[in-house]
Amino acid sequence: MTDFVSKALFIVVDGPDGVGKTTAAEKLAKEIDGLYVKAIGDTPLGKIYRERFTAVGRQQNQLHNLTWMMGVFLEVLEDLIKPALAAGKDVIVDRWFYSTMAYQIQPIIDGDHSIRDKDLAGRLESALYQVLNRSPDVYLACHASIETVKERVVARAAVTGEMDRLDMLSNAELNALHDAYAKGAERAVNTSTQVFPIDCNKEAVFVLAEMKYAIQKAREPQLKWTESWHITATETTACPADVTATT
């Protein structure tokens, strides 16, 4: 008898605002017939958090945000992710605690904060791993250049008519944010999670194909993977099935 449950993957698509991860995650879920979950917004606690703490211009208390996010992620894990995996369905989660590390934890550790706050941030990070006792199987670590991010932020604002919080950040602050995500990816490597860097500077069709290949690589470890992996337009329909396996 085939164990379909063991084949279901907990897939996280995460990265800095503006890289295009939400669009890619939604398309990926449709492509592989998985459950798309928006971590901040698809549960009661998540909706409250989004309404109260993500408004542009709101004064942020990083430690307050961090404690809220622990509850949000736990609710998503227990109410949405685990039931779907148990039913044998892949789950694609838009944002996970890698964002919490970048937006809440790392700024406290690196910034001009008290020793007490730095120590508390480190303890809360450890608590995140303990509370969220089901690590993602796959982390698609999305990244893009500052220029690409700014172009997309402008395009998004033109559609929504709203100012984006990234408009308030300097290039130096954006670079610091990207560095924080890179540190989070390094931490994830030390867990059971398979981490795949996804270059979101590319056109959407190439980003999607790279994500699909990463997922197949997670299922079939013998397949080749390099961060500089490229495809051509004619290969997107065949990818990833035609990729040569290592021996």
Q: Give, for all 247 residues of the chain, the pLDDT tens digit.
A: 333 334 799 999 998 888 888 999 999 999 999 999 998 888 888 888 777 765 544 556 667 777 788 888 899 999 999 999 999 999 999 998 888 777 777 777 777 778 888 888 778 777 777 777 788 999 999 988 888 888 887 777 777 766 666 666 777 877 887 887 877 777 666 677 888 999 999 999 999 999 999 999 998 877 765 544 443 333 333 333 333 333 3
Beta-strand runs (E) in 15-157: 35-38, 91-94, 138-143
pLDDT of residue 226: 54
C-alpha 50/C-alpha 3 separation (Å) is: 37
88: in domain: yes
C-alpha 163/C-alpha 222 separation (Å) is: 45
241: in domain: no
Task: Supply the range of the domain harboring residue 33.
Answer: 4-235
For 211, other C-beta atoms within 10 Å of its C-beta total 27
pLDDT of residue 225: 57
pLDDT of residue 205: 92
pLDDT of residue 53: 66
pLDDT of residue 220: 84
Type of residue at 235: E
pLDDT of residue 70: 83
242: in domain: no
197: in domain: yes
224: in domain: yes
pTM, rounded to two decimals: 0.79
In 3D space, the residue among 199, 179, 176, 196 whose CA is nearest the CA of residue 9 turns out to be 196
202: in domain: yes
51: in domain: yes
CATH code where residue 199 lies? 3.40.50.300
Length of the chain: 247
Overall domain count for the chain: 1
